[in-house]
Amino acid sequence: MTTWTNWAGTAVAQPRRVHRPRSRAEIAEIVTHAAAEGNRVRALGSGHSFTDIAVTDSDAIDLSGWTGIVSADMESGLVTVRSGTTLRDLNAALDVLGLAMTNLGDIDAQTIAGAISTGTHGTGARFGGLATQVAALEIVLADGSVVTCSARERHELFNAARVGLGALGVLSTVTLQCEPAFVLAAREGPEPLDDVLARFDELADGNDHFEFYWFPYGRNALVKRNNRQPPATAAQPLSKARRFLDYTIMENAAFGMLCRIGRAAPRLVPALGKLSSAALSAREYNDTSHRVFVTPRAVRFVESEFAVPRESVHMVLNELRALVPRLRDPVAFPVEVRVAAADDIWLSTAYGRDSAYLAIHQYVGMPYREYFTAFADIVGAVGGRPHWGKLHDLDAAALRELYPRFDDFLRVRKEVDPTGVFTNRYLDRVLGPVS
């Protein structure tokens, strides 16, 4: 029996069998045989969800051997990629073709299937999450059939499967609407948190991609403004020495050391937080889009993130700032704030509303339950929707109230997986059992 653990160590699985298909036919055969035996099937992805969404004690499908670009139409920008391809490898392959994804998050270790299935997003008031870039999906259903869905073909399945939680089938390929490669001008640096909040709407609307990190116990936020440059703009990246200093040394080695000190001596965490806030440095550079969107992350953490109506972000942050000093256990990691445009994907956290995302974190091995529970209460008061791949305690009854198309999703799920081949304990909680 193989033991599988996710990146953060918050989920552990011991699947009875781990399959490693290298073709669409093999994926279909695995599903068909498992269903015939009355077993359940989950795709593992790369383990970057913090929840137990991928956990199974039955049949697991490791898609790491099912990767690469299948086809690319340079005129339309449509690119079809195998589902086990990581965002890191996809970005590199698109770069060679002179193409790029429209928006990305700051981690690229996820598989494309896992990223869209859990609602992964970046930031930008005019841009949606990664699933909004999906033009078509090929899915292996519970009966082993392979179907394609898009806005024109099986559109209800498409509306459900773009953020499908792995509940509808195993994604075999994803077709993305890409665009010509572009350069982002990055401007990053510390600013007083109160000033950032006072100008929040101006900053969100005045930049293509805006986000900030608030370091608890400090007065400064790290503000990131990334803006698209005209075609043919030359990249002017940070030097190798500056990247090594900023990312390898300061944001990973040094910050990781401070976190380890804080874990060993919690009383020092507030002072260390103030130090981290005061030590933030400014930088400006131009680089290929995915090199700006993605940030190296070597320090491990646990995370909870909720999407709230954008207009409620000030209230939530005020409550969060008041909460942190009252906690029994201090907070070693910053709070991340991003924005996204409304979309029409049934289980997208941005369904039907322009959204602000607030993500809280804690260093691995440090207590976090009180913090995360209190945060959930704060965002719950404004209809916060939890990120499907990050820690939360909501169940199907609570989530039904947050998603207008929740029952439509369940109806499609029942149609394509009537016996619950693709369910697990996490899905039984957040969607309810298949009945």
- Domain boundaries, given as residue ranges, for the chain: 67-180, 183-386
d(CA 223, CA 187): 8
Strands (DSSP E) found in 269-349: 283-288, 301-309, 335-340
Q: How confident is the model at residue 248 (pLDDT cuts 50, 70, 90)?
A: confident
Q: How confident is the model at residue 250 (pLDDT cuts 50, 70, 90)?
A: confident
Helices (H), 313-420: 313-323, 369-380, 396-402, 406-416
Give the pLDDT score at 383. Answer: 98
Burial (0-12, 13-18, 19+ Cβ within 10 Å), 303: buried
Region 70-84: mean pLDDT is: 98
DSSP state of 124: B
d(CA 220, CA 214): 7
CA nearest to 384, candidates 304, 305, 306:
306
d(CA 387, CA 391): 8
Strands (DSSP E) found in 170-279: 170-177, 179-180, 183-192, 209-214, 220-228
Strands (DSSP E) found in 122-204: 134-140, 146-150, 170-177, 179-180, 183-192
Give the pLDDT score at 249. Answer: 83
Per residue in 83-93, pLDDT tens?
Answer: 999 999 999 99
d(CA 17, CA 24): 19
The rounded radius of gyration (Å) of the Cα atoms in the chain is: 21
Please state which of the ranges 90-94, 219-223, 246-250 shows the lowest mean pLDDT. Answer: 246-250
Per residue in 257-309, pLDDT tens?
Answer: 988 999 999 999 999 888 888 777 899 999 999 999 999 888 999 999 999 99
For 232, residues 6+ apart whose C-beta sits below 8 A from its C-beta are: none
Average pLDDT, the chain: 95
CATH fold of 67-180: 3.30.465
* Residue written as token pair 């804690």: 362
Region 403-428: mean pLDDT is: 97
**pTM assigned to the model:** 0.96
* 32 or 45: which leads in pLDDT: 32
Q: How confident is the model at residue 163 (pLDDT cuts 50, 70, 90)?
A: very high
d(CA 284, CA 432): 48
Determine the residue type at 159. Answer: N
CA atoms within a 13 Å half-sphere pointing along the CA-CB vector of 34: 33
d(CA 144, CA 274): 55
Q: How far is CA 188 from CA 209, 282, 291, 312, 408, in A?
A: 12, 5, 14, 25, 42
d(CA 245, CA 250): 6
CATH fold of 183-386: Vanillyl-alcohol Oxidase; Chain A, domain 3 (3.40.462)
Give the pLDDT score at 281. Answer: 83
* 277 or 376: which leads in pLDDT: 376
d(CA 256, CA 238): 22
Q: For residue 128, which phi and psi values (nearest 5 degrees)? A: -95, 180
Q: Are 80 and 99 in contact (CB under 8 A)?
A: no
pLDDT at residue 1 is higher than 70: no
Region 33-58: mean pLDDT is: 94
d(CA 291, CA 92): 10
